[in-house]
Structure 1
Amino acid sequence: MITAHTDVVGSLLRPAELLRAREERAAGRLDAPAFKAVEDAAVDGAVRLQEEAGMAVATDGEMRRLSFQSQMTEAVEGFGEWDLDAFLWGNWQGDAETGDWSRERPTRLGVEGRLRRRRFLSVEELVYLRARVGPGTVPKVTLPSPSLFASFWDPERSAGAYPTLEAFLADVTDLLREEVAELARLGARYLQLDAPHYPLLLEPGTRAFYEARGGSWRDWLARGIELDNAVMDAAPGVTFGFHLCRGNQGSRWLVEGGYDPIAGPVFRGTRAQRLLLEYDDERSGSFAPLAEVPEDKTVVLGLVTTKTPRVESPEWLEGQVREAARYVPLERLALSPQCGFSTSVVGNRVTVEDERRKLAAIRDAAERLWR
């Protein structure tokens, strides 16, 4: 099992060259080999940044993705028409300088055909990343929680292919089970499921969205965890992380509130060994819900914000970790950023140098805490 005391959530800022290359590729002015060369260079830079900062774990920065969850819609047929807005709808809040981000679910969004794999979602990411990290660095690949895709099922548009949401999510889960089995075959040691939709259940509008599809929000949470566990069960021997946050786009957020209502079902119910939890400000509530964490799990405290250039001092981070150690023993705690730095191509309002300083602060605090 991976026992690292420093971790990263997933995404890093996309370089300007990569963003330009995406536009050129979409316009047909850049061929596939040239685009892949730009992607590869961006991944190389992401790995270099994490290793130079002293991270025990490294991802590829999600450089090959439009959004943290888009590799599903890119790799699988049946999702119909979609674009970046498919992943950004919701009542976004935060710094007013970023503009009005409140947006409705796209009306055209919906699964329209039976799901069929075109390619694996993240095999390319793992194979390239594994060849780039040093011998002391653990490569990690992130994947979306299957029930996150409930927003892609529409009772009218999807009825021909999937009369019920349950049938649709069953196929999504099977695709992800096949994915993690293949990643394990290729040598993956550490995989992560991203489940931001669980903390969003703290918000009445999100609860109403799920309950309109049948059952209480608690029923939905329980069923979602069942599907998550089914995915993780397909790769025995692999360490799984489970990431919870409250929304992260353009330095904005979607919901606030402590983990209390979902702590028992999620912390105890998921079979992931590492819980990566957002804890960068008062919106996350207290550490008290950590009392629900079983003895076989590590808690990775997301104390370093990715939303602003503020750099938390190693002294402050050490104090926060020791406060959390009232509920979970110090040896079962670790440190990370609160979320990715660029959950989609819409990066947060920070710079690459900010990323570097924040990761270095995590390293310095970890050295103080765990020597």
Structure 2
Amino acid sequence: MLNIKYDIVGSFLRPSQIKTARAQYANGEISLAELRAVEDEAISDLVEKEAAHGLKFVTDGEFRRRWWHLDWLKEFDGFTTEHLDIERGGVINHIELGYITGKIFYDPDRSHPEIEAYDFLHKEAGKYPGITAKKCISGPNMILVDNYLQLGIKEVPYYGSDVEGLIEDIAIAYQNAIKDLYAHGCRYLQIDDTSWTYMIDEKFLQKVASLGYKKEEVLDWFQRVSTKALEGRPEDMVIATHFCKGNFKGNPLFSGFYDTVAPIISRIPYDGFFVEYDDERSGSFEPWAVLKGSDATFVAGLISTKNPELESLEDLKRRYAEAKAVVGDNIALSPQCGFASVEEGNCIDEETQWKKIDLLVSCKDFI
């Protein structure tokens, strides 16, 4: 069980100095060490601000990342990305998609930027009594989504068409990564995995069918790899999951209700489930009645990080009560997603971002 009443999902709007430094690094104007120094200063400032605004669990805002998921997945041997330009709403967006290049493996004996990032966050969080550093990583399903369902690659190096062998190796790689994070002091891990909401979107399901897969088959992949990834986890390590319907520059990517996936996800032994519920697109809380009486905490994502309008405290109180009536007493409150799943960030400003955080913390009076 998560011993929380309110929490954040993870990412924050990148400050201007990080955006400038990342552009300079991309252009070869500064070194990686110089970029890291800028990131360090910004993360240190962010952690101080998170603590000052009343958050008990803090993140590094994903300030070292371009993407919420790919920067983590690149820590695995046998996985890489390609860059694509995709038109969306009349705008050309530069994106990356990942694919499998060989045996998926996590080597705890080599240097990992994401582990170094956690080391710095852990050190900064330790400056403030009662504050815990939370590490956010993307989930194992995202490897399958990008390779098989986005790019449509069926024959992959090393595995050929052997999806079962691939699932086994992905899970073992995650087991080793989780143990490595634990060895570096991580006691609260959040695994972000939007793959589930791909599979409730009718348009995307048409693509899945066109590739020759059945929804039930893909969901079975997801459940098995996610469950096995948690095998052997340290007993005193809290591991939660988060999923929303996509958040690219503040725009949702998918739509649909959780009815068909909640019964499957809820069987995975996570300690907490952060679920998007900031508008009518999410439907009712009823699919999560399966969690009532369990040790898992349902974290209701009622505060939007996409919409700049500030939610009403009374509306939040009412919807929180609605959720609690369905899922029981193991319930907490959070924003529905991070404020910047990609480095460009959502369509809100920093002032609004912190007003949303203050609103979240103020809800402790009724949760």
TM-score (norm 2): 0.88
- Residue equivalent to 2:202: 204
Residue in structure 2 matching 1:100, options 90, 94, 103: 90
Contact 1:57-1:137 at 8 Å conserved across structures: yes
Q: How does 1:323-342 map to 2 (within 5 A)?
A: 323-329=322-328, 331-342=329-340
- Residue equivalent to 2:121: 129
C-alpha displacement of 1:186: 1.9
Contact 2:167-2:221 at 8 Å conserved across structures: no
- Residue equivalent to 2:15: 15
Quick one: distance in 2 between partners of 1:308 and 1:52?
A: 24
C-alpha displacement of 1:5: 0.6
Q: How does 1:8-47 map to 2 (within 5 A)?
A: 8-47=8-47
| Structure 1 range deviating more: 71-80 or 290-299 | 71-80
Contact 1:47-1:132 at 8 Å conserved across structures: yes
- Residue equivalent to 1:111: 100
What residue ranges of structure 1 are gaps of 5+ in the alignment?
A: 93-98
C-alpha displacement of 1:124: 1.5
CA deviations over 1:179-228 (Å, ceiling 9, x no partner) = 11111122211101111110221113332444566652123212212211
C-alpha displacement of 1:155: 6.8
Quick one: distance in 1 between partners of 2:72 and 2:176?
A: 13
Matched position secondary structure for 1:79: strand
C-alpha displacement of 1:81: 4.8
- Residue equivalent to 1:261: 260
Residue in structure 1 matching 2:133, options 136, 139, 142: 139
Q: Which is strand-richer, 1 or 2?
A: 2
The aligned length equals: 356
Q: Does 1:120 align with 2:106?
A: no
Contact 2:10-2:338 at 8 Å conserved across structures: yes
Quick one: distance in 2 between partners of 1:299 and 1:65?
A: 27
- Residue equivalent to 1:182: 180
Matched position secondary structure for 2:29: coil
**Which amino acid is 2:361 matched to?**
R
C-alpha displacement of 1:43: 1.3
CA change 1:179–1:18 in 2 (3 A) is same
**Which amino acid is 1:239 matched to?**
V
Residue in structure 2 matching 1:161, options 149, 158, 161: 158
C-alpha displacement of 1:301: 0.7
Quick one: distance in 2 between partners of 1:200 and 1:360?
A: 31
CA deviations over 1:303-329 (Å, ceiling 9, x no partner) = 000002111122221111111111122
Percent identical among aligned pairs is 27
**Which amino acid is 1:361 matched to?**
L
CA RMSD after TM alignment: 2.6
- Residue equivalent to 2:300: 301
Residue in structure 1 matching 2:366, options 362, 365, 369: 369
Quick one: distance in 2 between partners of 1:36 and 1:103?
A: 26
CA change 1:241–1:171 in 2 (3 A) is same
Matched position secondary structure for 1:60: coil
CA deviations over 1:131-180 (Å, ceiling 9, x no partner) = 11122122111111111112135676953333024434433332222111
TM-score (norm 1): 0.87
Matched position secondary structure for 2:325: coil
Contact 2:75-2:114 at 8 Å conserved across structures: no
Contact 1:71-1:121 at 8 Å conserved across structures: no
CA deviations over 1:245-279 (Å, ceiling 9, x no partner) = 00101111112222111111112x11001110000
Q: How does 1:173-252 map to 2 (within 5 A)?
A: 173-211=171-209, 215-237=213-235, 238-252=237-251
Quick one: distance in 1 between partners of 2:21 and 2:344?
A: 15
Quick one: distance in 2 between partners of 1:208 and 1:46?
A: 42
Contact 2:100-2:157 at 8 Å conserved across structures: no
CA deviations over 1:326-356 (Å, ceiling 9, x no partner) = 1122x31111110010001121001111111
C-alpha displacement of 1:12: 0.6
CA change 1:143–1:246 in 2 (3 A) is same
Contact 2:105-2:170 at 8 Å conserved across structures: no
What residue ranges of structure 2 are gaps of 5+ in the alignment?
A: none
